[in-house]
Amino acid sequence: MKADFLELDKDEYPGFIETLRDKNEELNAFNFIQNSYGEGKIISVKDNICVKDMPATASSKILEGYKPGFDATVVRRLKENGFRVIGKTNMDEFGFGSFGLNSEKQAKNPFDEKYVSGGSSSGSAISTAIIKDHVSIAESTGGSISTPAAFCGVVGFTPTYGLVSRYGLIDYANSLDKIGFMGRNAAAIKEVFNFSLGKDAKDTTSLERELIDNNSRKLYVINGLMKGVNPLVVDRFNRLLDRLISLGYTVEYKDLEYLDYSVPTYYIISMAEASTNLAKYQGFKYGFRLKDFSLDYNDFFKSARKEFGKEAKRRVILGTFIRSQSVRSKYYDKALGIRHLIIRQMKKLLSDGLIISPTMPIFTPKIEEVNDINPVEAYSMDMLTIPPNLCGFPHVSFPYFYEKGMPMGAQLIADHFNDYSLFSVLSEWEQNFKYKFAGELG
């Protein structure tokens, strides 16, 4: 199937940008929109991925004013293949959040502004939902592509860890970060993904491997994962399974012993890594400049870090604690061991099938419903998106049901480097189910 991408001529562009700006006032999808015209197939890029001469803030005040003088490898490769970046999309600060609310401008759901858009790639999901034939370059650490894709009714694909170079990514947690894509169908995402692949000398963790489609028609549902899912969401998900069975898929229910521990394991590893990554924001090198050079180094550093939002501070504090010598083996080392066990268990299952689940355990919540939930409750909402992210498995979230007009997403997980299997299942699904989008700008 051929992919379509939005291209505008010089006369159409100003009108399009004006409409996009108006829409952005309502939804807070973009941190930056490019006014000047340029030829090419239009894409947007999450604000933690560097685009030459465009601001890159990761939605953090501490990076305000930072403008990289280079393109991230993924952006460079797409530009070389005829794509053009129209803007930088809103996100939870540094990727710390699941609802798109940890940002100065809280992102809103394009189907209904009272509801969350999901995060952390909130703006990438919204822009894909409202712009015709759009693809947005996003990034996932623990579910930052799947979650907003599900809440905003678009397709969100996270590749196998290492397949897309992370050079130019403002990193959150190095052993978990993956650059991925949001789009309106499998064909568009696959095309952009293929242009983005390949080894990169600037990212020593990037990999070049032959990708597989194992043509499996076996789907596994993990009992433990379904335990915490809202019963009504389970009911809608079961209807999806019935439809897939009618298309010739088989469904098997399985238990996986260690998956219950994936959420704390993920947050331990990600906070430990985040606390070291955020140490480079000292108030004189990137973005925000403190300028009071009379302070000694510690006071200067502490003053600059007041610019972090509450969730960023919380994660730096916890990450620093977890890495301290007295508890390192209790938390960090143990978490790395559990990740090894979970990978081994999941790989065994994925050798002859795919894992399927709802993307989120709840219906799309209203903004007012999640503004005040405590951190442990918020982290627990990631229970379905964390396992594939923790283990670097490729996964995709796709729309499968509309509940009172709001989209719901399901998530498919494949084995490492079986990324193309996901596109095959998705293409077949798209022939049997018509997605509804929140807009057709362009």
Partner 1 sequence: MEKDEFNRLLATSRIVLNEIESDSIQKDTEDILKFFDKIGSVTVETGEKAFHPVDIPEKLREDSAADRREIENVFENGDTYRFYFLGPKV
Residues 359-378 that bind partner 1 (CB under 8 A): 374-376
Is 46 a residue of the active site? yes
Q: State which residue, 172 or 379, has the beta carbon closest to partner 1.
A: 379
Is 318 a binding residue for partner 1 by CB under 8 A? The answer is yes
Of the candidate residues 251, 307, 334, 428, the single one contacting partner 1 (CB under 8 A)? 334
Minimum separation from the CB atom of position 248 to partner 1 (A): 31
Is 298 a binding residue for partner 1 by CB under 8 A? The answer is yes
> Which among 442, 398, 429, 372 is positioned nearest to 130, based on CA atoms?
442
CB of 296 to partner 1, least distance (A): 5
Given a contact cutoff of 8 angstroms between Cβ atoms, the answer to whether 13 and 40 are in contact is no
Tell me the two tokens of residue 231: 């019963």
Closer Cβ to partner 1, 173 or 396, answer by number: 173
Give the C-alpha separation, 412 to 189, whole Å.
Answer: 15
List 265, 364, 397, 411, residue binding partner 1 (CB under 8 A) = 265
Answer yes or no: are the C-beta atoms of 29 and 49 closer than 8 Å. Answer: no
Please identify which of the residues 103, 140, 144, 421 carries the catalytic annotation: 144
Span interacting with partner 1, options 20-28, 215-223, 296-304, 406-414, rule CB under 8 A: 296-304
3-state secondary structure of 417: coil
Least distance (Å) from partner 1 to the CB of residue 265?
6
Q: For the chain, what's the residue count?
A: 442
Beta strand pairing status for 83-89 and 41-46? parallel
157 binds partner 1 (CB under 8 A): no
Which span sits near partner 1 by CB under 8 A: 126-134, 219-227, 258-266, 396-404?
258-266
Mention every residue, 6+ apart, whose C-beta is less than 8 A from residue 15: none
Q: What 3-state DSSP class applies to 105?
A: coil
From candidates 87, 95, 153, 287, binder to partner 1 by CB under 8 A: 287
Catalytic, out of 41, 46, 79, 108: 46
Per-residue DSSP letter, 243: H
Handedness of CA 4, 181, 60, 96 (dihedral sign): positive
Q: Does 321 bind partner 1 (CB under 8 A)?
A: yes
Q: Determine the residue type at 131.
A: I
**Counting contacts by CB under 8 A, is residue 317 touching partner 1?**
yes
**Least distance from partner 1 to the Cβ atom of residue 256, Å:** 13
CB 298, min distance to partner 1, A: 7
* By the rule CB under 8 A, 114 interacts with partner 1: no
- Decide the pairing of beta strands 155-158 and 250-254: unpaired
> Cβ distance 400 to 433 under 8 Å?
yes
Q: Which residues are catalytic?
A: 46, 120, 144
